[in-house]
């Protein structure tokens, strides 16, 4: 480039220069694209392979969850929360039940908390498995994906044993669980704890120190900690930038303070750090599940809250109050006290918050989901500026953007 | 030094006086109401305060209270200070006839899309926003769907009869 | 066990009609276009995985380009914003093309009876097989593919040029 051109060129964050506007071409990384896992669109302005700017468009799967929640009684909102981050739907369900319990000041027994931790950590493993294996697929390594999905089937089998569904689980009740885990569930969890470390180790040996993977992901899609905090990053993406914020520690819920786990953080905030943080979190989740299984307390699998927890069928047939409670709960006629609460949980992607305003009736007055994907995806154009197109694809995969949570 | 609701409330009242109204503590989270025109000074003071350091905007959403005469639309900010692990909530009300409030995109970059979503759902206009247009709904939609007077279902659908669905 | 076609055992030749041979070839080598939007897309990924392998049925090569695909599998909720995109992808496919609608949201809007969700993709494109479920189990998705294979095997070669088919497309505004 001549000196004149260089003066008029713009300096990007990684010290490259791009020429002026009229030399760009526009590429539509459209809503239907094999590498965008989910449907969102990016219109990229590019100079050859280098990206100058990107303009994201979302809303292609807007299902109006917040309006829908204003017309459904409290138990019918659980299937809606399932479909937020559908790769780890038990976490969303537990988050909603914990929000209701905080609103109603219900204290759950320790056994319920430990059961919830097991399910939430299994869901977190499932979510990170998808993200890491699909990140490997986007760099060209398909084998890891097939091995890892076999392990996701094992997690699905555990969910099926507990609640009957594989993916959109609708697990649990306000105050606990509908039944205790049976013996088969415990056996399946133990077998998972024995078999999974081998497979995860194999996947990591294939990918983590692989020359090609490291070249594709180191220094790609980096973001500094200050920009990440300003953009509202949470979860593994923020931890990869070096900030150790984890809702399980800061606003502890469900007896997480009994568990001993490390919060992995990265240094650069690039794709490789995000991969490593998720990988380490999976090992930590395994440790937590093992601890919960070894130290499972005895006690009831639900809190004593007849207004929200279905009474046993024998009581329904024999006692008048149980019959009335059963009717009221099933028809959604239970009134919830007036109040407003914001209740966060640590989802697979970060802080999933439920802001619930109740006006004393049977339906919520306003329910707002603080969805982590929606908030951190705003930073995507800044992260890919000056990078190549294939780096943009890899960055998008490593951010783990789930379309259901993006649009809600 | 750990923050409590009293310390923060006292500091806010000392600095901003009569702008801080209705302090309550539902479920131990300090909630205050501020006038809509003062949101930028108050939020930037909270972010840059040497001790408090509310560096994180957790959430920004809107609520519609049709029964509140004159102040029907509310914008709710949730702030979080990591250093002290302290959260608080700030509410600002605007009227539905002229729903305008300054943007806080300069203070927190995450407010950009959250304000677009609030505009898309409630019609609250954020003055000074770099790109205030619809984000989740279709661009040619001519009403703001989350307002209480609009129904949930699409009224033009033919295959679902309301009488079978109890509506 | 599936039965081999007659010409593979015995004398090595068989007397049949052209459309049966073409139907057999097409049915066992359908190239799907996975139009995965939401949760059903994850169940599709599980179906393509090694436990419920869809590749056994000939659908090993996924095509993300509509020009090279036979079968459009719409999996997940289609919002009204996405409907023109879906229609454009359908129009870009070359005949013969089939559409499989997977999941309650694609069949009829599912649990989302809201202002922003299209209540079923058959409002915009013609559908051949519907697979209900929320999300459907992988076995159900495979059953849907098998039904599509039956349709493909028994389809007459003149179907795409017939009046009935043209009328069907005209109902959707497709020329």
Note the pLDDT of residue A306: 87
Give the ipTM.
0.94
CB contact under 8 A, B58 and A351: yes
* Chain C residues with CB-CB distance to B136 below 8 A: 116
Note the pLDDT of residue A11: 64
Asked if A283 and A277 touch (Cβ cutoff 8 Å), the reply is: no
Interface contacts A/C by beta carbons within 8 Å: 88
Picking from C116, B80, B141, C42, the residue whose alpha carbon sits closest to that of residue A61 is C116
Note the pLDDT of residue A297: 92
Distance from the Cα of C64 to chain A's closest Cα (Å) equals 6
Q: What are B24's two structure tokens?
A: 């309550």
Task: Nearest by CB to C38, from A30, A61, A80: name it.
Answer: A61
Q: At what angle do helices C39-48 and A143-163 cross, to 10 degrees?
A: 120
* Chain B residues with CB-CB distance to C117 below 8 A: 154
CA gap A362, A242 in Å, rounded: 43
- Tell me the domains of chain B and their CATH numbers: 5-142 (3.30.460.80)
Asked if C114 and B152 touch (Cβ cutoff 8 Å), the reply is: yes
CB contact under 8 A, B153 and C80: no
CA gap A368, C26 in Å, rounded: 49
CA atoms within 13 A on the CB side of A206: 20
Note the pLDDT of residue C13: 76
Best B47, B108, B130, B135 member to test A by mutation, with max A CBs in 10 Å, is B135
Q: What are A306's two structure tokens?
A: 């007849």
What proportion of chain C, given as a percentage, has pLDDT over 70?
97
Mean pLDDT of B120-142: 92
Note the pLDDT of residue A10: 60
> In sequence order, what are the residues at sequence separation of 6 or more whose Cβ sits closer than 8 angstroms to the Cβ of residue B161?
none
* Chain B residues with CB-CB distance to C82 below 8 A: none
Counting as low any pLDDT under 70, the low residues of chain C are 5-10
CB contact under 8 A, C119 and B159: yes
Picking from C84, C98, C132, the residue whose alpha carbon sits closest to that of residue C29 is C98
* Chain A residues with CB-CB distance to B59 below 8 A: 342, 353, 355, 368, 370
The pLDDT profile of chain A, 408 residues, written as one tens digit per residue, is 455 554 455 666 666 666 565 678 899 888 888 766 778 889 998 888 888 888 999 989 999 999 999 999 998 999 999 899 999 999 999 999 999 999 999 999 999 999 999 999 999 999 999 999 999 999 988 888 888 988 999 999 999 999 999 999 989 999 889 889 999 999 999 999 999 999 999 999 999 999 999 999 999 989 999 999 999 999 999 999 999 999 999 989 999 999 999 999 999 889 999 999 999 999 999 999 999 999 999 999 999 888 889 888 898 999 999 999 999 998 888 889 999 999 999 999 999 999 999 998 889 999 999 999 999 999 999 999 888 998 998 999 899 998 888 887
CB contact under 8 A, B145 and C120: no
CB contact under 8 A, B145 and C81: no
Asked if C146 and C56 touch (Cβ cutoff 8 Å), the reply is: no
CA gap A327, A333 in Å, rounded: 8
CA gap A239, A221 in Å, rounded: 15
Whole-Å CA distances, A268 to A117, A238, A294, A387, A394: 30, 11, 37, 16, 16
Task: Nearest by CB to C50, from A38, A150, A404: name it.
Answer: A150
Residue A96's SS3 state is: helix
Neighbour count for residue B129 (Cβ, 10 Å): 17
The average confidence (pLDDT) of chain C is 89
Note the pLDDT of residue B167: 66
CA gap B148, B160 in Å, rounded: 22
CB contact under 8 A, C117 and A80: no
Note the pLDDT of residue A13: 61
* Chain C residues with CB-CB distance to A166 below 8 A: 43, 46, 135, 137
CB contact under 8 A, C114 and A68: yes
Search chain C and give the residue with CA nearest A127.
C42
Note the pLDDT of residue A48: 84
CA gap A97, A163 in Å, rounded: 15
Task: Nearest by CB to A357, from B63, B82, B117: name it.
Answer: B63
> pLDDT, tens digit, for every residue of C49-93?
889 999 999 888 888 899 999 999 999 999 999 999 999 999 999
B125 touches chain A (CB under 8 A): no
Residue B48's SS3 state is: helix
Asked if A69 and C91 touch (Cβ cutoff 8 Å), the reply is: no
* Chain C residues with CB-CB distance to B165 below 8 A: 113
B159 touches chain C (CB under 8 A): yes
Picking from B78, C4, C66, C95, the residue whose alpha carbon sits closest to that of residue A355 is B78
* Chain A residues with CB-CB distance to C45 below 8 A: 130, 149
> pLDDT, tens digit, for every residue of B40-87?
999 999 999 988 889 999 999 999 999 988 899 999 999 999 999 999
Note the pLDDT of residue A15: 61
> In sequence order, what are the residues at sequence separation of 6 or more whose Cβ sits closer than 8 angstroms to the Cβ of residue C173?
none
């Amino acid at each position: 480039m001549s000196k004149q051109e260089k003066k008029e060129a713009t300096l990007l964050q990684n010290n490259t220069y791009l020429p002026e506007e009229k030399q760009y071409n526009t590429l539509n990384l459209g809503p239907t694209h094999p590498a965008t896992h989910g449907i969102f669109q990016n219109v990229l302005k590019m100079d050859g392979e280098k990206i100058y700017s990107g303009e994201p468009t979302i809303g292609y799967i807007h299902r109006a969850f917040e309006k829908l929640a204003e017309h459904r009684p409290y138990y019918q909102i659980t299937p809606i929360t399932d479909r937020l981050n559908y790769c780890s739907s038990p976490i969303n369900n537990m988050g909603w039940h914990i929000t209701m319990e905080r609103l109603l000041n219900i204290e759950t027994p320790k056994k319920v908390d430990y059961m919830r931790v097991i399910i939430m950590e299994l869901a977190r493993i499932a979510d990170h498995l998808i993200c890491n294996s699909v990140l490997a697929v986007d760099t060209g390594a398909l084998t890891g994906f097939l091995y890892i999905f076999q392990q996701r089937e094992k997690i699905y089998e555990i969910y099926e044993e507990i609640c009957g569904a594989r993916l959109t689980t609708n697990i649990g009740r306000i105050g606990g669980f509908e039944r205790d885990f049976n013996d088969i569930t415990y056996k399946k969890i133990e077998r998972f704890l024995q078999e999974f470390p081998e497979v995860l180790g194999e996947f990591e040996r294939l990918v983590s120190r692989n020359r090609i993977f490291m070249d594709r992901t180191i220094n790609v899609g980096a973001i500094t900690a200050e920009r990440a905090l300003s953009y509202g990053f949470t979860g593994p993406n923020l931890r990869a930038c070096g900030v150790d914020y984890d809702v399980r520690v800061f606003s502890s819920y469900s007896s997480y303070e009994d568990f001993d786990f490390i919060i992995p953080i990265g240094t650069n905030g690039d794709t490789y750090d995000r991969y490593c943080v998720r990988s380490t979190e999976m090992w930590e989740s395994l440790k937590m599940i093992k601890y919960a299984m070894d130290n499972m307390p005895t006690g009831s699998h639900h809190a004593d809250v007849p207004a929200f927890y279905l009474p046993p069928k024998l009581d329904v047939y024999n006692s008048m109050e149980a019959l009335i409670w059963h009717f009221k709960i099933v028809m959604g006629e239970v009134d919830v006290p007036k109040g407003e609460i914001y209740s966060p949980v640590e989802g697979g992607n970060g802080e999933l918050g439920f802001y619930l305003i109740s006006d004393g009736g049977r339906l919520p007055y306003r329910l707002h989901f603080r969805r982590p994907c929606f908030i951190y995806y705003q930073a995507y154009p800044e992260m890919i500026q000056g990078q190549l197109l294939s780096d943009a694809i890899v960055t998008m995969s490593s951010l783990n953007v789930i379309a259901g949570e993006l649009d809600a | 030094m750990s923050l409590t609701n009293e310390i923060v409330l006292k500091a806010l009242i000392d600095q901003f006086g009569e702008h801080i109204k209705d302090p309550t503590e539902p479920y131990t989270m300090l909630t205050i109401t501020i006038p809509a025109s003062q949101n930028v000074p108050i939020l930037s003071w909270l972010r840059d305060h040497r001790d408090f350091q509310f560096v994180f905007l957790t959430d920004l959403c809107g609520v519609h209270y049709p029964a509140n005469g004159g102040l029907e639309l509310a914008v709710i900010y949730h702030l979080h200070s990591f250093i002290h692990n302290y959260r608080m909530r700030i509410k600002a009300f605007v009227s539905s006839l002229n729903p305008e409030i300054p943007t806080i995109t300069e203070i927190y970059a995450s407010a950009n899309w959250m304000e677009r979503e609030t505009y898309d759902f409630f019609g609250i206009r954020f003055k000074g926003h770099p790109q205030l247009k619809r984000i989740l709904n279709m661009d040619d939609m001519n009403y703001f769907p989350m307002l209480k007077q609009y129904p949930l279902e699409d009224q033009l659908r033919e295959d679902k009869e309301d009488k079978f669905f109890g509506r | 066990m599936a039965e081999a076609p007659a010409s593979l055992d015995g004398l090595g030749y068989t007397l049949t009609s052209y459309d049966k041979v073409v139907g057999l070839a097409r049915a066992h080598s359908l190239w799907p276009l996975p139009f995965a939007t939401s949760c059903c897309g994850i169940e599709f990924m599980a179906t393509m995985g090694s436990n419920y392998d869809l590749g056994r049925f000939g659908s090993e090569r996924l095509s993300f380009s509509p020009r090279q695909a036979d079968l459009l599998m719409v999996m997940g909720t289609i919002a009204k914003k996405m409907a023109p995109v879906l229609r454009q992808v359908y129009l870009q496919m070359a005949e013969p093309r089939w559409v499989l609608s997977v999941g309650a949201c694609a069949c009829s809007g599912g649990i989302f009876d809201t202002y922003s969700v299209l209540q079923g993709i058959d409002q915009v494109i013609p559908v051949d097989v519907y697979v209900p479920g929320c999300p459907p189990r992988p076995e159900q998705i495979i059953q849907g593919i098998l039904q599509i294979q039956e349709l493909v095997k028994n389809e007459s070669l003149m179907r795409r040029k017939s009046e009935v088919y043209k009328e069907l497309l005209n109902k959707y505004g497709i020329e």
